[in-house]
Homo-oligomer: A and B are copies of this chain.
Amino acid sequence: MKFATQKTSHPDGELVLVSRDLTTTVPVSDIADTLQDALSKWDICMPLLQARYDALNAGTLENTRPLNELSLTAPLPRAWQWLDGSCFLNHGHLMQKAFHLDPIEDADKYPLMYQGAGDNFSGPTDDVVVARESDGADFEGEFAVITGSVPMGVTPEQARDAIRLVVMLNDISFRALAPREMKTGFGFVQAKGATAFAPIAVTPDELGDNWHQCRVHLTMNIQRNGSLFGCPHGREMHFGFDQLISHAALTRTLHPGTVIGSGTVSNADPDVGQACISELRAKEMITHGAAQTGFLKHGEVIALAATDESGCSIFGDIHQHVKVEQQHV
């Protein structure tokens, strides 16, 4: 199934089903008002939603509408819990080499993960809001999963069954603010902005063979101001989402609608580029001794998409303009 959320005056919007070819939508408010609502009563909703989805794809429904991506917000516009990993180890290796940092101990054994703010996700075409240009605003292309209920202490095998949906996101980071916060050991507060999501959330079966070992085996295409910035794939994620869920649930129960991210997608092959500016800057520092590429400025445009072999944009597109409140401060 493919889901999206129409913008309404309510922060959680209105859930719709989207046809497999992303052309039409159908309301499901008689089954669930919002995606959080559907996730909270998944076992009851699932058969009803599946029947509606099958009919939508078969073209037998009358109350359908053409898909209008501009009318959509994040599939889950806010989450009671948002946890983000950093599970493409190549990214960490590059950052450590560029900044002459010690490797983070056991990063290949325990997933790096921070608690993020899920109160205010951005839609796929919402502005990237930046307080000051000097904050060093950056994007990060990531895949993520949205879970059902997860009991405390689940194994990765058990966690797999709790994966309800797969999404794509743009994790906004303020690089000038991160080093001080990381040094405290308390993690990121000021150094993270509102995370933006591609409009379509899909059940794992929609990915076919591109969902493998709880990883998204798709290539993400990242454009900065209309030029290709990178096209890394999700296969090199060191931990699967099953392992991330198990890690997060060691000492706590996860509630339906918990979002868990992969961290910026990154590949060892330098020819594929990268999914964030800071990784490109790290490569420049390693090669040239200094970073050459600047962070985001007012008016820039970031676009992310992940297409399958047939050219179908699985999650729809993220297409955001950068809005800097205080420029050149």
Chain A contacts to B: CB under 8 angstroms: 78, 80-81, 83, 86, 104-107, 110, 112-120, 129-131, 135, 152-153, 174, 177, 180-194, 247-248, 250-253, 255, 258, 325
Copies assembled: 2
In the assembled complex, 25 residue pairs joining A and B whose CB atoms fall closer than 8 Å, in A order, are A80-B118, A80-B119, A83-B189, A86-B186, A104-B183, A104-B184, A104-B185, A105-B183, A105-B184, A114-B187, A115-B115, A115-B187, A119-B258, A120-B252, A131-B251, A177-B250, A182-B185, A183-B185, A187-B187, A190-B251, A191-B251, A192-B252, A193-B251, A193-B252, A194-B252
Give bound CA distance, A11 to B322, whole Å. Answer: 37
Which chain B residue has the least Cβ–Cβ distance from A174?
B251
How distant is A197 from chain B, measured CB to nearest CB, in Å? 16
- CB contact between A131 and one of B105, B130, B152, B184 (< 8 Å): that residue: B152
B186 near A251: Cβ-Cβ < 8 Å = no
- CB contact between A185 and one of B78, B185, B258 (< 8 Å): that residue: B185
Interface centre among A86, A120, A185, A188 (most CB of B within 10 A): A185
How distant is A296 from chain B, measured CB to nearest CB, in Å? 13
How distant is A136 from chain B, measured CB to nearest CB, in Å? 11
B117 near A115: Cβ-Cβ < 8 Å = yes
- B residues within 8 A CB of A177? 250-251
Give bound CA distance, A192 to B187, whole Å. Answer: 13
B186 near A187: Cβ-Cβ < 8 Å = yes
- B residues within 8 A CB of A247? 189-190
A129 near B152: Cβ-Cβ < 8 Å = yes
How distant is A149 from chain B, measured CB to nearest CB, in Å? 11
- B residues within 8 A CB of A135? 251
- B residues within 8 A CB of A105? 180, 183-184
- CB contact between A253 and one of B120, B180, B250, B255 (< 8 Å): that residue: B120
**The 8 nearest A-B residue pairs measured at CB:** A187-B187, A182-B185, A80-B119, A114-B186, A115-B115, A81-B119, A190-B250, A131-B251
Interface centre among A153, A184, A255 (most CB of B within 10 A): A184
Which chain B residue has the least Cβ–Cβ distance from A187?
B187
How distant is A82 from chain B, measured CB to nearest CB, in Å? 9
A120 near B152: Cβ-Cβ < 8 Å = no
- CB contact between A180 and one of B106, B119, B188 (< 8 Å): that residue: B106
- With A104-B183, A110-B180 as contacts: A115 and B251 at CB distance below 8 Å: no
